[in-house]
Amino acid sequence: MAQVKATPKTYDVVIVGSGAGGGVAAHVLSLAGAKICMLEAGEWFDCEKDAKMFAWPYQVPHRGAGTQYKPWGAFDATTVGGWQVPGEPYTTAPGSDFMWWRARMLGGRTNHYGRISLRMGPYDFKPYSRDGKGFDWPITYDDLAPYYDKAEELIGVFGSQEGLENTPDGKFQPAPAPRGYERLIKSACDKLRIPCIPSRLAILTRPLNGRPACHYCAQCGRSCSANANFNSPGVHLKPALKTGNLEIRTGAMAREVLVGSDGNATGVSYVDKKTRSEVEVRGKIVVLAASCCETARIMLNSKSSLFPNGIANSTGLVGRYVMDTVGSAVAGFLPILQDLPPQNEDGVGGMHLYMPWWLYKEQAANKMPFARGYHIEIGGGRGLPGAGALGGYPTQFLGGGYGVELKQKLRKLYGCEVHFAGRGEMIPNEDSYCEIDPHVVDQWGIPVLRFHFKWSQDEILQAKHMQETFQQIIEAMGGTVTHKLGSENNWGIARGGEIIHEVGATKMGTDPKTSVLNQYCQAWDVKNLFITDAAPFVSNADKNPTLSITALGWRTSDYIAGEVKKLNVKV
Amino acid sequence: MPDKDQSETAGVSRRDIFQILGAVPAAAAVSAHPHMHMAPQEAASKGPYKRQTFDDRQWETVKVLCDLIIPADERSAGASQAAVPEFIDDWIAFRTEQDGHQNLRAEIFGGLMWLDREANRLFAKTFVAAAADQQKQLLDRIAYPARAAKDDAPWVAFFNQFRSLTVGGFFSSKVGVADLPYLGNRAVPEWKGCDPKVWAVIEERMKTGYKGILEAKPWGA
């Protein structure tokens, strides 16, 4: 390895990671006047130049089908990353099943994510107080509510005012009208008394801060050339760069937080991937936002005489209580939709309606076999045909056949599919955590993570409930269930990490003995070390994490800005 | 493969989007968009397709079989004109590389062998050279799983697989997308949700049911 290069300049803040958490910190702090150096392990990405909008599957090899290193297909915005990153392995402990999605690019996973933007509710901050499982957050919904407002107003979220239990409404743009199959699903849910309401996605339906409204091509996962959906480079970083206060270094793989003799962080040491050399960047404050588990990895690898178990890890809790989301899916086929007059059912990139958790009363009355809840995400209709479109229909629905008759039948069956996916809360447990694998390093010479993961009965029974509920909804529409899973498959519960909602690993709390961070996501052990990704999460409500990362990261950044002013943090 | 060219033609800048969302109707604007003109035609625009999987004899059989499964009709061209044989040839090579085994390739190759072997046994011809009614006689044996003979099970499985590739390749092709028709992947200036006329049909079917290819029962109370 080449000689270590140190940058002479000392920045106010060094931020590791450029996704939702790093992005919001850079946005808030650069506008507050802080001089920032941001490290991103991947390369530059600009949605206005790099998105693959309007391309057709038949224009690219293999109809754009997924590959080992491009698992979600040729058009997915993730340039480098996926379940595997070349040269950057991770391991799983015997008996554990865990998948780790990483996006090595500017903006990280915000470039391709589902844009689902749900506020955690008042119950979600105090789960232990409600059912005795897991932990309470050191903050309440009211503490975070103003930051949810700010986050929604900056990134742009559509939705509707509903006033439902533990499902807070927000500062919403108007929601897009539902598609045909979605109205049908709502009719079935009305019969079954399951609330079905406009979804809440970070996609503009009205222009905002110079960004145009959505043009409804449904391909948000490719990233948007118009910058009409939320992504960190286009929404957080662009205005931050305009201040002149933000410098972004790409290809910078953070390895270790550096510590001074006083125990404070002094900066970050990273590998410059192009030159394979070690570089040190100095900062008065260090913000980690490398994604929950990568943040824990950096901390555990930051060993010094003051912190032999890794920085800010006097409790040994760094890496503990990793949570993902409970996922289980059912697919159906709805004959009622066959041979309808054709229409464009694209809409935004994602569902226009969804079902928030609705059985709070039953749960409170001890009538449910599991703790916590889930929401339902839906899909279907006349979507963009990719490889394999309608391929299974002849055997699935038509008893076989070939020729003109088959062709004519097939086109009439197009658009009849619907999909239901549950997204539910996982309770933190002692068997789900990440640690440094003592035997394996990546190509940058950085020890890698080893994952331990286990679902509890609460999650498995929740998946069972999902399967049964989704089948009920499909049957209520006169449909056929085409994909379901039963007890032999643990009710189709997703593998750990598979829903890509990892949170936890450096939990917040009120007591330095039982938590890594205080309520401002400031390390108890290292006063100028903060975390703004999902690692501080204390629980993982069924509300997808990105909006809460943004709100919590904003609150933390406000605190950092205030502390700098009050000189409580040594600057 | 032409990854680079295509990602470039696929990119649409923000300025282009504003133009697309301007006064002209979106569909007209998109088709008038300079980038869209550069969209490659299936197989045609980049010179002849280079086969990776099938030999000459298999290739003739594959083309005939594709068109027997998805022939031309009054709405659209048949599978071979939609470059489905090329899709299948490429897909088998792709899956063989991705999956690290040759199971799909073996299943398709084996089935093609059987078509010729059986055509030769019964008609003393290759499958391609056999008369239309002779081809039909063979396909009818393997195209309807529920009524196929037990001994034909491997060839039924082959045909299921081959038909799935043909159907999937066709309906994801430019010809197939227009056939369905899929009307999206374009800029829509104003989103209005489900067409009220379509919703009226759905609501009517909820009340009275619908007897189409598959029956939809009325919803009841």
Same domain (yes/no): B169, B86 = yes
Query: Is B154 found in the same domain as B80?
Result: yes
| Percent over 90 (pLDDT), chain B | 77
Query: Mutate which of A183, A214, A343, A473 to disrupt the B interface (most B C-beta within 10 Å)?
Result: A343
Across the interface, whether the CB atoms of A179 and B194 are under 8 A apart is answered: yes
Q: Is A49 on the interface with B (CB under 8 A)?
A: yes
Q: Is residue B203 part of a domain?
A: yes
CA distance A55 to B187: 12
**Residues in contact with B171: Cβ distance below 8 Å, sequence separation at least 6, in sequence order:** A385, A389, A390, A391, A410, A414, B177, B179, B180
Residues 165-204 of A with CB under 8 A from B: 176-180, 182-184, 187, 191
A32 in a structural domain: yes
This complex has an ipTM of 0.94
* DSSP labels, A355-371: B----HHHHHTT-SSSS
Task: Give kind and range of the element (H or E) at residue A271.
Answer: strand A265-272
Q: For residues B34 and A149, give the distance between their C-alpha atoms in angstroms, rounded to a whole number.
A: 41
| pLDDT of amino acid A5 | 77
Report the Cα–Cα distance between both ends of chain B, in Å, rounded: 56
Q: Are residues B84 and B8 in the same domain?
A: no
- Residues B65 and B111 placed together within one structural domain of the fold: yes
Say what the pLDDT of residue B26 is.
Answer: 34
- Measured distance CA(B106)–CA(B85) in Å, rounded: 17
Judge: A59–B10 Cβ closer than 8 Å, yes or no.
Answer: yes
Is A347's Cβ below 8 Å from some Cβ in B?
Answer: yes
DSSP A6: E
What phi, psi does A320 have (nearest 5°)? -80, 160
Helix locations, chain B, DSSP H? 3-10, 14-20, 26-32, 34-37, 56-69, 84-99, 103-123, 132-142, 153-171, 174-179, 196-208
Structure tokens at A148: 């949810």
Interface test with A, best of B35, B139, B198 (most A CBs within 10 A): B198
Closest CA to A289 of A14, A524, A541: A14
Instruction: Give yes or no for B201 touching A (CB within 8 A).
Output: yes
Cβ-Cβ contacts under 8 Å, B77 against chain A: none
Question: Mind telling me how many Å the CA of B189 is from chain A's nearest CA?
Answer: 6
HSE, side-chain direction, 13 A CA sphere, residue B7: 14
Contacts of B185 in chain A (CB under 8 A): 54, 56, 217-219, 346, 384
pLDDT over 50 (residue A319): yes
> B22 at the A interface (CB within 8 A)?
no
* B173 lies in some domain: yes
In a domain, B99, yes or no: yes
Q: Please give the pLDDT value at position A7.
A: 66
Q: Are residues B12 and B99 in the same domain?
A: no
Q: Which of A10, A17, A22 is nearest to A532 (CA)?
A: A22
pLDDT surpasses 50 at B7: no
Enter the DSSP assignment of B147.
Answer: G
Percent pLDDT > 90 in chain A is 95
The answer to whether residues B124 and B213 belong to one domain is no
User: Which of B155, B163, B162, B153 minimizes the C-alpha distance to B138?
Assistant: B155
Q: Which residues on chain A are in Cβ contact (under 8 Å) with B165?
A: 391
Looking at the domain assignment, is residue A472 inside a domain? no
Interface test with B, best of A76, A179, A181, A344 (most B CBs within 10 A): A344
The nearest CA of chain B is from the CA of A423 a distance in Å of 25
Residues B18 and B76 in one domain: no
Q: Determine, yes or no, domain membership for B187.
A: no
Q: Closest CB to B206: pick one of A177, A336, A388.
A: A336
Q: Do the domain assignments include residue A292? A: yes
| Residue pLDDT, tens place only, B169-191 | 999 999 999 999 999 999 999 99
- Provide the chain A residues 371-400 that lie in CB contact (below 8 A) with chain B: 382-395, 397-400
Q: Is the pLDDT of residue B24 over 70?
A: no
| Per-residue model confidence as pLDDT tens digits over A519-532 | 999 999 999 999 99
- Look at A484-488, B6-10, B96-100 and tell me which has the smallest mean pLDDT: B6-10
Residue B207 sits in the same domain as residue B172: no
Task: Retrieve residue A122's tokens.
Answer: 């008042």
Residue (of A477, A445, A84, A448) closest to A270 by Cα position? A445
pLDDT band at A232 (very low <50, low <70, confident <90, very high): very high
Dihedral class, residue A53 (left if φ above 0, else alpha if ψ from -120 to 50, else beta) = beta
Q: Which of A51, A62, A390 shows the shortest C-beta gap to B171?
A: A390
Instruction: With respect to residue A473, please indicate whether it lies within any of the assigned structural domains.
Output: no
Which range marks the domain in which residue A241 is found?
1-47+91-115+230-325+430-452+503-571
User: Please, what is the end-to-end C-alpha distance for chain A in angstroms?
Assistant: 32
Asked, for residue B103, whether it belongs to a domain, the answer is yes
- B interface mutation test: which of A45, A48, A50, A54 has the most B CBs within 10 A? A54
pLDDT at B70: 98
List strand residue ranges (DSSP E) for A277-396, in order. Answer: 277-288, 320-323, 326-333, 353-354, 374-380
DSSP for A110-160, written as a single string? GGTS--B-----GGGG-HHHHHSSS---SS-HHHHHHHHHHHHHHH--B--
**What's the number of domains chain B is made of?**
3
Rounded Cα distance, A345 and B21, in Å: 18
Which tokens belong to A256?
């270790």
In chain B, what residues touch A347 (CB-CB under 8 Å)?
191, 193
b/e string for B2-26 if b means 16 or more Cβ within 10 A?
eeeebbebbbbebebbeebbeeeeb
Shared domain for B73 and B161, answered yes or no, is yes
- Residues 6 or more apart in contact with residue A311 via CB below 8 angstroms: A257, A259, A265, A299, A302, A303, A304, A523, A525, A526, A529
Residue B51 resides in a domain: no
Which of B18, B87, B167 is opposite residue A394, by nearest beta carbon? B167
Cα B178 from chain centroid (whole Å): 11
- Give the helix ranges, DSSP H, for A306-441: 360-364, 393-397, 404-413
CB contacts, 8 Å: A482 with chain B: none
CA distance, residue A304 to nearest chain B CA (Å): 44
The reported pLDDT for the residue numbered A154 is 98
Average pLDDT value for residue range A189-194: 98
- Domain total of chain A: 1
Residue of B nearest to A213 (CA): B189
Collect all residues of chain B within an 8 Å Cβ-Cβ radius of residue A411: 75, 179-180
Residue B41, pLDDT above cutoff 60: no
Residue B24 lies in a domain: yes
Alpha-carbon distance of A171 to A551, in angstroms, equals 13
Same domain, B157 and B214: no
**Shortest distance, CA B133 to any CA of chain A (angstroms):** 13
User: Over the stretch A35-81, which tens digit does the pLDDT of each residue have?
Assistant: 999 999 999 999 998 888 999 999 999 999 999 889 999 999 999 99
Indicate whether A353 belongs to any domain: no
Q: Kindly state whether residue A498 falls inside one of the protein's structural domains.
A: no
Q: Mutation test of the interface with chain B: which of A219, A336, A352, A482, choosing the one with the most B Cβ atoms within 10 A?
A: A336
Angle, alpha carbons A390-A393-A396 (nearest 5°): 150
pLDDT beyond 60 at A328: yes
A456 touches B: beta carbon within 8 Å? no
The CATH number covering residue A282 comes to 3.50.50.60
Domain containing B30 equals 3-37
The residues in A 475-494 lying below 8 A from B, measured between CB atoms, are: 476-478
B198/A337 Cα distance (integer angstroms):
10
User: Do the domain assignments include residue A252?
Assistant: yes
A contact residues 111-150, partner B, Cβ 8 Å cutoff: none
Contact (CB, 8 A) for A497 and A323: no
Nearest CA in chain B to A210: B14
Residues B92 and B19 both lie in one domain: no
A257 within domain boundaries: yes
pLDDT tens by residue, A154-184: 999 999 999 999 999 999 999 999 999 999 9
Nearest to A225 among B12, B164, B177 (CB): B12
Please report residues of B whose CB lies closer than 8 A to that of A58. 42, 172-174, 177
Question: Where does the pLDDT of residue B221 fall: very low under 50, low under 70, confident under 90, or very high at 90 and above?
Answer: low
Query: What pTM does this model have?
Result: 0.93
Cis peptide upstream of residue A308 (ω within 30 degrees of 0): no
Q: Does B183 touch chain A (CB under 8 A)?
A: yes
pLDDT digits (tens, 9 = 90+) for B105-161: 999 999 999 999 999 999 999 999 999 999 999 999 999 999 999 999 999 999 999
- Domain assignment present for residue B47? The answer is no
Which two structure tokens, joined as six digits, stand for A428? 């933190």
Q: How far is it, in rounded angstroms, from Cα B81 to Cα B75?
A: 13
